[in-house]
Amino acid sequence: MAPSLQDAKITFIGGGNMAAAIIGGLLARNIPKANISVSEPWDVNRNKLADMGLRVSASNTEFSAEADVAILAVKPQVARDVCRELGESWGQKTRAPLVISIAAGIQLKELKAWFGAGGKAPPIVRTMPNTPALVGEGASGLYADEDVSKDERELTSALMASVSQATEWVSEEKLLDVVTGISGSGPAYFFMMVENLISSAVSQGLPVEQATRLATQTCLGAGRMLVSSPEQPEQLRRNVTSPNGTTHAAIESFKAAGLEQMVDQAVRAAVKRSEELGQAMADS
Ligand SMILES: NC(=O)C1=CN([C@@H]2O[C@H](COP(=O)(O)OP(=O)(O)OC[C@H]3O[C@@H](n4cnc5c(N)ncnc54)[C@H](OP(=O)(O)O)[C@@H]3O)[C@@H](O)[C@H]2O)C=CC1
Ligand SMILES: O=C(O)[C@@H]1CCC=N1
């Protein structure tokens, strides 16, 4: 029987950007600090997490043996060595933690082989969160096979839902690459759009502070409307677009520049990179 989210002992393997975002979201939801630990080799990151009142270690195995949940939050390139180290330390233990991997691209098949190096592979859920988890506004895709119990799925859903407003289980593992292409990497696309809005405004004379306030609030306002309005994004766009008005002029310019194809190509590039990261680790 998996514990509830409030009671679960959660350890993060890797304490970088995405781990910090999820931890920040969990703490904001009053998950007890005493239940969260992090292993992180870099002392700068480790000290930041310690200053937040979390238990930290440079050793990946220090907390994982007693954890209910181990969140694999290292870069895909180091995942294999880390998983093997953990798998060997758990050995033949009857009770290994539930593993939640956030590593882009690394497939269940590989994770099971690496974690199973010391004996039986633990139950593993793959998730693809995004950094807005830090402010409780994350979007996460999840995938698990039949080796993960209903309880373990529910615990994972509760954990990701505590930092995400959209928590979507996908029906096939390969769809997680598509999730990575739209929502895992997605915050960067919107940040880039805002960067470009600001630089355009500044180049036309608006002070940078004013341009930043106007562009960022426009992004937030549009986002709030997207999640709260019953209308589809296309209709929301039409509502802003007066016939032959200013928005129309901008939209025509986007269309002429091939925005739709550009976005499609960019998402496909991210999806392809996610597939490649998985393949490179499978081949190495
Ligand atoms: N950033 C994002 O928006 C998202 C990231 N992800 C996934 O999350 C994972 C982490 O990404 P991100 O947080 O951005 O990366 P970071 O580099 O910020 O974090 C990874 C952390 O792991 C540490 N680390 C390196 N080697 C080990 C080791 N052997 N044992 C334990 N920890 C180690 C790194 O330390 P050091 O700096 O010393 O190398 C670093 O602090 C990736 O797999 C990525 O695909 C998923 C969704 C979104
Ligand atoms: O850029 C990356 O590879 C990671 C995965 C999704 C977001 N950041």
Number of the ligand closest to the Cα of 59: 1
The answer to whether position 19 is within a domain reads: yes
The ipTM estimated for the assembled molecules is 0.97
For ligand 1, is residue 48 a contact (CB within 6 Å)? no
The answer to whether position 3 is within a domain reads: no
Average the pLDDT over 176-187 and give the result.
98
The answer to whether position 179 is within a domain reads: no
> Which residue, 115, 106, 59, is CA-closest to 86?
115
Query: How many Å apart are CA 91 and CA 116, to the nearest integer?
Result: 8
Strand partners, 12: 38, 71
Number of the ligand closest to the Cα of 106: 1
Residue 116 sits in the same domain as residue 217: no
Q: What is the largest CA-CA distance in the chain?
A: 70
The last residue of a domain, from among 174, 209, 233: 174
Query: How many Å apart are CA 16 and CA 5, to the nearest integer?
Result: 22
Query: What residue numbers does the annotated binding site for NADPH cover?
Result: 60
Q: Which three-class secondary structure string do you get for 15-49? A: CCHHHHHHHHHHHHCCCCHHHEEEECCCHHHHHHH
Which has the minimum average pLDDT: 31-45, 114-128, 234-248?
114-128
Residue 161 sits in the same domain as residue 205: no
Tokens standing for residue 162: 């505590």
Please count the other Cβ atoms lying within 10 Å of the Cβ belonging to residue 59.
11
Residue 214 sits in the same domain as residue 127: no
State pLDDT tens for residues 102-113: 999 999 999 999
Phi-psi region of 99 (alpha: psi -120 to 50; beta: other; left: phi over 0): beta
State pLDDT tens for residues 121-177: 999 999 999 999 999 999 999 999 999 999 999 999 999 999 999 999 999 999 999
Residue 258 sits in the same domain as residue 127: no
- Domain membership of residue 84 as a residue range: 10-174
State pLDDT tens for residues 72-104: 999 999 999 999 999 999 886 667 899 999 999
Query: How many Å apart are CA 96 and CA 80, to the nearest integer?
Result: 18
Give the count of domains, the chain: 2
pLDDT at 81: 95
Number of the ligand closest to the Cα of 58: 1
Average the pLDDT over 262-279 and give the result.
96
State pLDDT tens for residues 189-206: 999 999 999 999 999 999
- What is the Å distance from ligand 1's center to 19 Cα? 8
12 and 24 in contact (C-beta within 8 Å)? no
Compute the mean pLDDT over every residue in the chain, rounded to the nearest whole number. Answer: 95
Residue 77 sits in the same domain as residue 158: yes
pLDDT at 282 over 90: no
Report angle CA 12, 273, 146 to the nearest 5 degrees. Answer: 55
Residue bearing the CA closest to ligand 2, atom 3: 104
Nearest atom within ligand 1 for CA of residue 106: 43
Residue 190 sits in the same domain as residue 220: yes
pLDDT at 213 over 70: yes
Average the pLDDT over 230-241 and give the result.
98
Residue 73 sits in the same domain as residue 138: yes
Residue 86 sits in the same domain as residue 107: yes
Domain CATH code at residue 74:
3.40.50.720
pLDDT at 65: 85
Query: How many Å apart are CA 118 and CA 231, to the nearest integer?
Result: 52
Domain CATH code at residue 190:
1.10.3730.10
pLDDT band for 19, please (50, 70, 90 cuts). very high
Strand partners, 143: 126
Please count the other Cβ atoms lying within 10 Å of the Cβ belonging to residue 168.
15
Residue 191 sits in the same domain as residue 136: no
Nearest atom within ligand 1 for CA of residue 104: 45
Average the pLDDT over 193-220 and give the result.
98
pLDDT at 211: 98
% of the chain surpassing 70 pLDDT? 99
pLDDT at 93: 66
103 and 92 in contact (C-beta within 8 Å)? no
For ligand 2, is residue 104 a contact (CB within 6 Å)? yes
pLDDT band for 15, please (50, 70, 90 cuts). very high
186 and 129 in contact (C-beta within 8 Å)? no
- Per the model's pLDDT, the better-predicted residue between 103 and 282 turns out to be 103
Residue 168 sits in the same domain as residue 191: no
pLDDT at 92: 63
The last residue of a domain, from among 145, 174, 203: 174
pLDDT at 1 over 90: no
The last residue of a domain, from among 174, 194, 210: 174
> Which residue, 103, 105, 54, is CA-closest to 83?
103
Residue 194 sits in the same domain as residue 158: no
Placement of tokens 């976005």 in the chain: 263
Which has the minimum average pLDDT: 51-65, 204-218, 219-233?
51-65
% of the chain surpassing 90 pLDDT? 90
Placement of tokens 């633990």 in the chain: 122
